[in-house]
Amino acid sequence: MRIIVGITGGIAAYKSPELVRLLKKAGHEVRCAATEHALEFVTRATLETVSGAPLYHDLFTGNGSSTEHISLKDWGELLVVAPATANIIGKVASGIADDALSTLLLAMPPERVLMAPAMNSQMWAHPAVQRNIATLKGWGVRTVGPAVGELACGTSGPGRMVEPAEIVEAALSTLHTPLSAQRWLVTAGPTYERIDSVRFVGNYSSGKMGFALAQALADAGAEVELVTGPTALSISHPRVHRTDIESAREMYAAATALYPTCRGAILSAAVADYRPAECADHKLKKQGDEGMTLTLVQNPDILASLGKMKTDGQLLVGFALETDNELQNAQGKLQRKNLDYIVMNSLRDAGAGFGTDTNKVTILGADGSRRDVGLRSKQKVAREIVSTVTS
């Protein structure tokens, strides 16, 4: 891979040559770009020697052409800014390009930038810096650190640049993004079907499996549309776009609107098959000693509807939570609903299914394939599902 290491003026710049060395050792081509202030901490000769390439640090007199930021942008698959000072973070967030590195940063697509912030704890905590970091992340810039520890100013706290080895790991994980440029839809959680203004029919789904799938898809580089029923879970990833819904009909409306724009969908939500025929707009009162009969009507089947909408080149993955005749029932659903894969859970397996942190599944493919994923965390199961259905 071709990686640009951007260095700004912080004391941690003395670790940047080590970062360059480690990236080269891992087999990557590296070029360095530095600000004037960075060169107060680390010399041009050091950076050129470790990278084996001329340093980019002057917009006009540096290495010839005044459009070098564009050719360097085209050359680099990833720009790692380490250390990233409050100043460079603020400049990029404000669209300022007044030197070689900030100009390169504005030319670079945000998703190809990784920043390792380093500064004093109070500077890091300042609302301006936090706002700027949030802005960059919202555009797809990735960050690693800062770490908590001893700082150059003699204090201790968050603000230390993470160690070069950790930056290398973060850099390489951003390069392995096989699903970049793909959009995926994920449904998660339960649905609540209203009886009256304070009561509903629901189920025990926690949403954990769906959230883990959204995270795994985003980690692999995909843009994810996560449509979720009520859950206590949160997710923070620049590529996960969350839509909160309550009922099956709301989930149906969101999912059918989004699916045509997606490469694929994984429907893990525990959708209520039925809803009360009527929903009172006030709290229903007890009627003497009589019992109460609730009439239920059927909800739309979202998975089956997407199966009908599916076009060539689109993928559709469903879940099947079964109690008996698991394989036969799951295979039936796979065919009936026009799916590419079905992920089968058995409620008979301990540690699998609703509410747990673990799961145990079998992934059946329309092509007759079968992959058994033994009991493990929902995060690991999610990664297995994503790698199976996207390979």
Per CB under 6 A, residues contacting ligand CTP are 187, 248, 267-269, 271, 273, 299, 301-303, 318-321, 333
CA proximity to 366, closest of 322, 293, 321, 310: 310
Q: How far is the CB of 28 from ligand CTP (least distance, A)?
A: 41
Residue 171 or 320 with smaller CB distance to ligand CTP:
320
Residue 228 or 268 with smaller CB distance to ligand CTP:
268
Residue 218 or 266 with smaller CB distance to ligand CTP:
266
Ramachandran angles phi, psi of 376, nearest 5°: -160, 180
Burial 88-103 (b: 16+ CB within 10 A, else e): bbbbbbeeebebbbbb
Q: How far is the CB of 269 from ligand CTP (least distance, A)?
A: 4
Q: What is the dihedral of CA 174, 46, 21, 112, to 10 degrees?
A: 10
Q: What is the dihedral of CA 222, 227, 228, 229, to 10 degrees?
A: -170
CA proximity to 320, closest of 273, 348, 361, 368: 361
Residue 31 or 333 with smaller CB distance to ligand CTP:
333
Residue 78 or 217 with smaller CB distance to ligand CTP:
217
What Cα–Cα distance (Å) separates residue 282 from each residue in 97, 250, 293, 355?
58, 21, 17, 31
Q: Is 279 a catalytic residue?
A: no
Instruction: Report the DSSP beta bridge partners of residue 371.
Output: 363
Query: In whole angstroms, what is the distance from residue 85 CA to residue 159 CA?
Result: 10
Query: In whole angstroms, what is the distance from residue 146 CA to residue 86 CA?
Result: 12
Query: In whole angstroms, what is the distance from residue 330 CA to residue 324 CA?
Result: 10
- Helices 208-219, 378-390: axis angle to 10 degrees equals 50
What Cα–Cα distance (Å) separates residue 115 from each residue in 145, 236, 248, 270?
9, 17, 41, 38
Contact yes or no for 375/352 (Cβ under 8 A) = yes
> Which residue's beta carbon is nearest to the bound ligand CTP?
302
Residue 160 or 310 with smaller CB distance to ligand CTP:
310
Known catalytic residues are 153
